Amino acid sequence: MTATPHFQIDYVGNVGLGTSSATEKLHIVSGNVKIATTGNGLYLPSAGYATKLEHYEQFSHSTTCSGPWSQTQCNIDVTRIGRLVFLSFASQVKATSDNPAPPITFQSALPTRFRPAGAVDCLPVLDSTSVAIHCACFSVTTAGAMTLSYDKNKSDFPTSLGGVGWNGLQPIGMYLTA
C-alpha cells in the first residue's frame, strides 16, 4: 500500500492540496475553496492573470404600490453577472381600473453595486396580460432610484389602462454597472 499525501509543500514553496507535484504557489486538484466569514475574500494582484473576479449576485427588491394597482407589494428580481445587471418582475403588477394610474416609484434605492453607469431613461416593458399591446418604461437613475411609468417622461398611465399588467418573471431589461 502506498500513501499519497493530501497536503505538500515542495522545495520551491509550491503548496499542493491533493497532489504531490504542485505547479503553482497553490495547486488544488479537486474540491473547492471556501471563505466562511463575511468581510473576507480572495485578493488578486493588479498585475497577473486577473485583476478582479467576475461575480454573480441575485436579490429581490420591493416597493409599496398605491392607487389602482392590484398588489400592495411590487417585486423586482435583480441579477448581476460581472457588470451586467438584469431586471425582471418577480410578482404580477396589474392595474385594476380604468382610472389614470400613477407611476410606481420604488421607495428604496438599489444598492450601489447594482446601480447603472449612466441613467437608464427607459427600458421598454410590454404588457403580458391583455390582447391589446401596451408598453411602459422602467427607469433607473445612477443613484439607484427605480420608476415604472407610462413613458420616459414618467407620465401617469392613461385611463384606458384597465386590465393591463406585467406578470411575474417577465424580463424588464439590462444595463451595465459603473
Q: Are 111 and 144 in contact (CB under 8 A)?
A: yes
pLDDT at 143: 92
Q: Are residues 71 and 21 in the same domain?
A: no
Handedness of CA 107, 111, 112, 117 (dihedral sign): negative
> Where is the domain boundary, 52, 68, 92?
52
pLDDT at 50: 43
Q: Are residues 27 and 89 in the same domain?
A: no
Q: Are residues 119 and 153 in the same domain?
A: yes
Domain enclosing residue 137, as ranges: 56-176
Tens digit of pLDDT at every position of the chain (178 positions): 666 667 788 888 888 888 888 888 888 887 777 767 666 666 555 544 444 455 677 888 877 766 666 666 777 888 888 788 888 877 777 766 666 677 877 777 888 888 898 998 888 877 666 555 667 788 889 998 888 887 778 777 776 655 566 665 566 778 888 7
pLDDT at 142: 92
Element (H, E) at 27: strand 26-28
Specify the DSSP class assigned to residue 110: P
pTM for the model stands at 0.60
Q: Are residues 60 and 11 in the same domain?
A: no
Q: Are residues 63 and 144 in the same domain?
A: yes
Q: Are residues 48 and 74 in the same domain?
A: no
Q: Are residues 79 and 3 in the same domain?
A: no
Tell me the CATH number at 64: 2.60.40
